[in-house]
Amino acid sequence: MTERRSPVGQGDFLILDPGNLSGYLDERPALAARVGRVTAIETPEDGNINRVFVVKGEAGSLALKQGLPWVRIIESWELTAERTAREANFFAKWAPYAEGLLPEIFEFDEENHVIAMEDLSGFRIMAEALGREDHGSNVERIGRLLARAFLGTSPFFLGPIEFSERLRETENPELAELMEQVVFDHPWNAEPLDHCHPDLRGPVTELLGDEAFMSRVGELKYRFRTAHEGLIHGDLHTGSVMVAGDEIRVFDAEFARYGPVAWDVGEFIAHLRIAAVAAVVSGQEERAEACASLPGRFWSAFAVEVREGWGGREDRLFSDGFVEAWLADQERASARFAGAEIGRRMIGVGKAALIESLPEGQMLTASHELLAEARQLVKEGVPSWL
């Protein structure tokens, strides 16, 4: 087996490539049996951070996801390879609540930072399918999954000792810092003016000068950094969900950690709103109508599942009144997090592909509308979708 080892100082492990994959599988009988004689190796290029291979053979197929000590598309950008261990742990912890909504994990190779999982080649990214098909029920299923996983990993249902142990074993400071930088730091300084379309510089400059808005972003950054309410996916959006008819798989969970539940809720809603606005400005009336109701359906499913699951608690202090107050706070926080995510996708790193792919005039119309919505959501915390 041809070996390329990681550089000195970054851990000694095998770096997978098409030339050594067959040998890698041969050393792992359970995986080799799933594939059989290898007939094809595909390297999807839609991920920015990790290296992914889809291995197909006479007996079946699987996907291998490897975390390297750098960002895949920018090798000079160092990043801990331990993120795969955190993702594997996330899948294990969410699995009891998933009801088939997570990819099947076959094996985790801790030494080489490789997760072997279900091949999702027959699926497509939800972001591409929204509005073209009816995904209302799928969105509701994701909302219910998030609620179940939150309750099952929260301090409401775990004792203090177990909860503290969960916090320690799911720490993910490097990826949390990376997300904090791209959502709460980089978009809100002078840098965006260097990357904005000239027609957006005016509203962006005005936004950056809005002290009330900036103060709210600061509050969100603090909550993102300090709230540890449950085990969250950490990067839950319509690009991290795969769909095939009624089948759903939530994947790409390397940002998983204990954090604010409203971040997962708000980020997902933000991308539903981006899809809706993109459909409106491009004149796709049926698609726009289909997308318009999705944020409300997602939130309602989440809230209903939380209320139903609340009855299993033992502490009488966490009463029905408590959960209603908690949900009201989460609704406001989710709206604000949604606004921050919408704004950063317009002017920060990782712009929204649904908007950037529009003709220039439509792109500018959508960007202006979404920046205004981001400002309103962050400042007021009032959901525009309810």
pLDDT per residue as tens digits for the range 327-363: 999 999 999 999 999 999 998 888 999 999 999 999 9
CA distance 103 to 120: 8
- pLDDT of 359 reads 97
User: Does 124-380 carry CATH code 3.40.50.620?
Assistant: no
Residue 73: its pLDDT value, please? 66
Tokens of 108: 């985790």
* CA atoms of 188 and 341, how far apart (whole Å): 12
Give the start-to-end residue ranges of the domains of the chain: 21-117, 124-380
Question: Given this model, what pLDDT does residue 191 score?
Answer: 63
Backbone Cα Rg of the chain: 21
pLDDT tens digits, residue range 168-204? Answer: 999 999 999 999 999 999 898 766 566 678 899 899 9
Which pLDDT score, from 0 to 100, does residue 315 have? Answer: 78
The CATH superfamily of 21-117 is Phosphorylase Kinase; domain 1 (3.30.200.20)
Please give the chain's pLDDT, 386 residues, in tens: 445 544 434 457 899 999 999 999 999 999 999 999 999 999 886 666 788 999 999 999 999 999 888 877 667 778 888 889 999 999 999 999 999 999 999 999 999 999 999 999 999 999 988 867 778 999 999 999 999 999 999 999 999 999 999 999 999 999 999 999 999 998 987 665 666 788 998 999 999 999 999 999 999 999 999 999 999 999 999 999 999 988 999 999 999 999 999 999 999 999 999 999 999 999 999 889 989 999 999 999 999 999 999 986 777 888 889 999 999 999 999 999 999 999 999 988 889 999 999 999 999 999 999 999 999 999 999 997 76
312-318's contacts with Cβ under 8 Å and 24+ in sequence apart are: 312/151, 312/157, 313/156, 313/157, 315/156, 318/156
DSSP string, 269-323: HHHHHHHHHHHHHTT-HHHHHHHHTHHHHHHHHHHHHHHHHHTT---TTS-HHHH
Q: Which pLDDT does position 40 carry in this prediction?
A: 96
In whole angstroms, give the CA distance from residue 98 to residue 248.
10
- Amino acid type, 188: W
100 sits in the region (left: phi over 0; alpha: psi -120 to 50; else beta) called left
In this predicted structure, what is the pLDDT of residue 7? 46
Write down the pLDDT at residue 1: 44
Model confidence pTM above 0.85: yes
